[in-house]
Amino acid sequence: MINIAIDGPSASGKSTIAKQLAKKLGYIHIDTGAMYRAVALECLNRNVDLDNETACYDVARVSDISLKTDGSIFVNGDDVSRLIRTDAVSQGASKVSKFKSVRELLVDKQRKIAAKKGFVLDGRDITSVVLPDAEVKIYQTADVAVRAKRRFDELSAAGFDVNYDSLFDELVERDERDMNRSESPLVKVADALEINTTHLSVDEVVNLVMGYIESRGLND
């Protein structure tokens, strides 16, 4: 068994692809963004200032975050899978993820989970920091307008009241923050396969990655 690491900007479809790959391979998908979102949600619930590193770290440290194999996420025993998808939490996650102490805590957790192999992790620093030795590394992108549309469709379908223009603006703002922060910014590592999904369907992307795995003799 191997590990598959997927990075890329917000709403580039990483989790969708990671989920499908995990299903095909019988692996477990770990949405690391959901962990940063869970910390942000807890901070918001406790009225903690999202610009205060020590306060955010304290919340992260005492929060029991657990990811279930069905993709749901629990914090201190409560299912927060839906609550972490709001705009406020998206922005909050991008803020708390700037902090070194918060990152170290979650990165450590992610590495421990993936140590056994057989995982597909997606996020911003998986190929560069969390699993630099992952057998397969993917950098997944898409044009920002397409990403905003996908996020709009996904949230609308889930019953959220969303506005395309504000989703677009928020994506631009988050890209800027995620790519330019000093701690583990989003980068494309040299040995990652870059896939621009702007004009590709989910199946096309999944087939591309499966072909890549096969071509490297990594399928067991």
**Residues contributing to the site for ligand DC (CB under 6 A):** 10, 32-33, 36-37, 93-94, 97, 123-126, 174, 178
**Closer Cβ to ligand DC, 112 or 217, answer by number:** 112
Helix (H, G, I), strand (E, B) or coil at 125: coil
**Smallest gap, in angstroms, from Cβ of residue 104 to ligand DC?**
12
CA angle (108, 188, 84) in 5-degree steps: 50
**Cβ neighbour number for residue 2 with a 10 Å cutoff:** 17
* DSSP class per residue in 145-173: HHHHHHHHHHHHHTT----HHHHHHHHHH
**Smallest gap, in angstroms, from Cβ of residue 92 to ligand DC?**
9
**Closer Cβ to ligand DC, 25 or 110, answer by number:** 110
**Smallest gap, in angstroms, from Cβ of residue 77 to ligand DC?**
22
**Closer Cβ to ligand DC, 3 or 10, answer by number:** 10
Long-range Cβ contact pairs of 70-73 (< 8 A, separation 24 or more)? 71/19, 71/29, 71/31, 73/31, 73/34, 73/35, 73/38
Q: Considering only CA atoms, which of 155, 183, 185 is closest in space to residue 170?
A: 155
**Closer Cβ to ligand DC, 42 or 125, answer by number:** 125
**Smallest gap, in angstroms, from Cβ of residue 215 to ligand DC?**
27
